[in-house]
A and B are shown apart, each in its own frame.
Chain A
Amino acid sequence: MGSTAVLVILIALVVLIALVVIAGIALYNSLIRLRLRVDEAWSQIDVQLKRRHDLIPNLVNAVRGYMEFEQETLTAVTNARANAVSAGAAGPAAAAAAENALTATLRSLFAVVENYPQLRANENVMSLQEELTTTENRIAFARQHYNATTRDYNTSVASFPNVILARQFGFTARDFFDAEPEAAAVPEVRLR
């Protein structure tokens, strides 16, 4: 009689522990999955920033001949690009600042391009324009997606009971990619 009761309690305990362990594994895996999505989203931003860095020299060369009075605008773009390339290794915050500066110089370049009808008739410039427009959009969308996945991950890491596991296994909250204030509006790099 007494020994059956002990046995029942023992079995109940084992089942309980097994359930806790299974729940822990499931939680751990979901944290891993969320963190992986954040990493993927971050690498997507990197890919698009790299794409922009590669496109800019082509654009600058294509428009240089037409824009003899605007050399300082072109120099500003070239310098901002160089800064952004070197800031890429310095972490999200520094990269964001340098990339935002680059976006600003590109915007003033496109504003200037509008004053040159010959440029707007040039097919090469127009296709570079389309490529840069899409790249600007891709960067914005990649950031948006990165921030969305980061929000999901950070929420998960900070909420109970995940927070216990997260502390134990070193899941720490990630930084958001802050957009510059005026970039909340759609980047306007269109000619028409």
Chain B
Amino acid sequence: MATETFFTQQAANRRLSWLLMLSVVALLAALGLAMGFGLTADPVASVAITGGAVALGTLLALGSYYRGDELVLAASRAREVTREEQPRLWNVVEELAIAAGIPVPRVHLIDDTAPNAFATGRDPEHASIAITTGLLEKLDRDGLAGVIGHELSHVRNFDIRFALLVGVLVGSIALLADMFLRYAFWFGGGRGGRRGGGGGLQALAGVLAILLALMAPIVARLVQLAVSRQREYLADATAVELTRNPAGLERALAIIAGDREVLEVANRATNHLYIVNPVKKVEERSRGLFSTHPPIVDRINRLRALRGASPLSSSESSALRALEPDGGRGGP
């Protein structure tokens, strides 16, 4: 049963990763074609620009696949730690790597008092986990084992590959589109009079705007797919299968979700990687934009069921719900 789920998840993640990389190349090709015709209206130049866009897309996809983890770790200001610096953390990671039957990942620390953790990389042989110093201080050995178990199951399931590609590719595509859009508007507005080129540029800007509008829901859906409830529940369940200790992860989740501090280094491109949604700012919470994580009360109650405990009382539930970005309703 368990192995079946795990292989199914692995296969799905490999497939989705391929699909995502191909769509990025295709999307850039379409953008290149639109730009080529919009700017030059010359077939040869259009083909050249499209070729350039395809090359850029391929480079972007390969770059994200092979070096994206370094980008994510650097953006999160994570530094690699040695066994001598953190013997206990290393021991816990090595123990659970044995339990999961995967190589020991690289271990990173983020200097931040808000407790949280994530895993990244392209496969179990090239994986990293990062945890905040706050998490290390606030959790006991069992809680730490629960969190590391959760992260290592993301590693074993290849969730890390797809989540990494979503973060880096979608992030850089959004950035590129933004850049093109500004460039187009700037030229379109500033030099509108020359050779009637302004009309072409304005048409191009229109095409880009339409493409972006088309892209937005797809992007949102992708990020949701990357952190579907299914993935998080499966990682929680696998963590318990590895540690044989539901109470440890349960306590850890409650501590992470109950902490009011904001993780400064998390951003739109990396939010979905964390074990518990790092967005805790009131203004973003009220907007309810980031429903990428399943509600914590649900996750805790599932873990309690595993060890035969009764679900959280309504006051405990509402206390935890109040801390979540979207009032604990979870994503669609």
Contacts and interface: CB of A to CB of B under 8 A. Distances in A.
A37 B102 CA distance: 11
B98 A138 contact: yes
B99 A144 contact: yes
Interface in A115-133: 127, 130-131, 133
A134 B98 contact: no
A131 B83 CA distance: 12
Interface in A79-93: none
A154 interface: no
A131 B88 CA distance: 9
Nearest to A41: B101
Interface in B86-135: 87-88, 91-92, 94-96, 98-101
Nearest to B96: A141
B244 interface: yes
Interface residues of A, number: 20
B3 interface: yes
A137 B98 CA distance: 10
Interface in A137-170: 137-138, 141-142, 144-145, 148-149, 152
Nearest to A136: B95
Interface string B241-256: 0101100000000000
A58 to B, nearest CB: 15
A134 B94 contact: yes
Given A152-B3, A186-B244, A186-B245, A48 B87 contact: no
A190 B88 CA distance: 13
Interface string A36-64: 01000100100010000000000000000
Contact of A134 (B3, B95, B242): B95
A131 B92 CA distance: 11
B244 A138 contact: no
Given A152-B3, A186-B244, A186-B245, A48 B91 contact: no
B244 A137 contact: no
A186 B248 CA distance: 12
Given A41-B101, A145-B101, A149-B101, A138 B87 contact: no
Contact of A142 (B3, B87, B98, B141): B98
Contacts of A145: 98-101
A25 B210 CA distance: 52
Contacts of A152: 3
B91 A134 contact: yes
B93 to A, nearest CB: 10
B98 A130 contact: no
Contacts of A186: 244-245
Contact of B242 (A133, A138, A141): A141
A50 B77 CA distance: 38
Contacts of B95: 134, 137-138, 141
Nearest to B95: A137
A148 B92 CA distance: 20
A48 B91 CA distance: 13
B1 to A, nearest CB: 11
A141 B88 contact: no
A37 B245 CA distance: 25
A138 B91 CA distance: 9
A133 B3 CA distance: 28
Nearest to A48: B98
A130 B86 CA distance: 12
Nearest to A192: B140
Interface in A2-18: none
A155 B149 CA distance: 26
Contacts of A138: 94-95, 98
Contacts of A190: 141
6 contacts: A44-B98, A130-B91, A131-B91, A133-B141, A144-B99, A148-B3
The 9 closest A-B pairs by CB, nearest first: A141-B99, A134-B91, A137-B95, A141-B98, A145-B101, A138-B95, A142-B98, A138-B98, A141-B95
Interface of A: 37, 41, 44, 48, 127, 130-131, 133-134, 137-138, 141-142, 144-145, 148-149, 152, 186, 190
Given A144-B242, A148-B3, 7 more contacts: A37-B101, A130-B88, A134-B92, A138-B94, A138-B95, A152-B3, A186-B245
